Structure 1
Amino acid sequence: MQIEIALERWPMRAPFHIAGKSFVDAQIVTVEVTEGTHRGRGEACGVYYTNDTADRIVAQLEQVRAHADRLDREAVQTLLPAGGARNALDCALWELEAAQSGKSVWQLAGLSSVRPLKTVFTIGIDAPDAMAASARAMTHAPAIKLKLAGDGVDADRVRAVRAARPDAWLAVDANRGFDRAGFVDILPVFHEVGIALIEQPLAIGREQDMRGIDRRIPLAADESVQDIDDLAPLVGLFDIVNIKLDKCGGLTHALRMEADARKLGFQVMVGNMTGTSWSQAPGFVLGQRCDYVDLDGPTFLASDRSPAVRYADGYIFCPDTIWGRGAA
Structure 2
Amino acid sequence: MLPWLSAFPRSWPLATPFRISRGVRTTAEVVEVHIRDGRCIGRGESTPYARYGETVASVIAQIDAPARIQMDALDHAQLQQLLPAGAARNAVDSALWDLESQRRGVPVATLLGQTGLPCLPTAQTIGLDTAERMAEAARGQAHLDLLKIKVGADDPARLIQAVRDAAPQARLMVDPNESWTLELLQAMQPVLAATRVELVEQPLPAGEDEQLRGFRSVTLLCADESCHVAEDLPRLQGLYDVVNIKLDKTGGLTGALTLLDAARAQGFEIMVGCMGCSSLAIAPALHVGRHARFVDLDGPLWLRDDHPGGVRLVGGLLQPPAPTLWGGGRRTDVDTAKPASIACAQPLKAAPAPLSI
Fold conserved between structures, TM > 0.5: yes
**What is the CA–CA distance in structure 1 between the aligned matches of 2:143 and 2:87, rounded to whole Å?**
31
Q: Work out whether 1:33 is the aligned partner of 2:35.
A: yes
Q: Work out whether 1:117 is the aligned partner of 2:120.
A: yes
Q: Deviations over 1:132-178 (max 9, x none)?
A: 00000115522100001011x21111111111111111110010010
**What is the CA–CA distance in structure 1 between the aligned matches of 2:143 and 2:96, rounded to whole Å?**
34
RMSD: 1.2
AA at the equivalent of 2:112: A
**What is the CA–CA distance in structure 1 between the aligned matches of 2:41 and 2:214, rounded to whole Å?**
51
- What does 1:69-80 align with in structure 2 at a 5 Å threshold? 69-80=72-83
Q: 1:324 aligns with which of 320, 323, 327?
A: 327
TM-score by length of 1: 0.97
AA at the equivalent of 1:250: G
The CA deviation at 1:321 is 3.1
The CA deviation at 1:228 is 1.3
The CA deviation at 1:274 is 1.6
Alignment match, 2:337: none
Decide whether the 8 Å contact of 2:301 with 2:312 is kept in 1: no
Q: 1:314 aligns with which of 306, 313, 316?
A: 316
Decide whether the 8 Å contact of 2:19 with 2:128 is kept in 1: yes
**What is the CA–CA distance in structure 2 between the aligned matches of 1:200 and 1:318, rounded to whole Å?**
28
Q: Unaligned regions of 5+ residues in structure 2, if any?
A: 333-357
Decide whether the 8 Å contact of 1:98 with 1:104 is kept in 2: yes
Q: Deviations over 1:49-87 (max 9, x none)?
A: 012111111001111211111111111111001011100
**What is the CA–CA distance in structure 2 between the aligned matches of 1:26 and 1:211, rounded to whole Å?**
36
Q: Work out whether 1:10 is the aligned partner of 2:15.
A: no
AA at the equivalent of 2:31: V
Q: Deviations over 1:275-324 (max 9, x none)?
A: 00001100111111211110000111111111111211221121433311
Q: 2:306 aligns with which of 304, 307, 320?
A: 304
AA at the equivalent of 1:325: G
AA at the equivalent of 2:213: R
Alignment match, 2:283: 281
Q: Unaligned regions of 5+ residues in structure 1, if any?
A: none
- What does 1:65-144 align with in structure 2 at a 5 Å threshold? 65-144=68-147
Decide whether the 8 Å contact of 2:142 with 2:166 is kept in 1: no
Q: Deviations over 1:17-66 (max 9, x none)?
A: 11123212111110010112222100011223012111111001111211
Alignment match, 1:254: 256
AA at the equivalent of 2:173: A
Residue 231 of structure 1 aligns to a residue whose secondary structure is helix
Q: How many residues align?
A: 327
**What is the CA–CA distance in structure 1 between the aligned matches of 2:23 and 2:64, rounded to whole Å?**
29
Decide whether the 8 Å contact of 1:18 with 1:124 is kept in 2: yes
Residue 71 of structure 2 aligns to a residue whose secondary structure is helix
TM-score by length of 2: 0.89
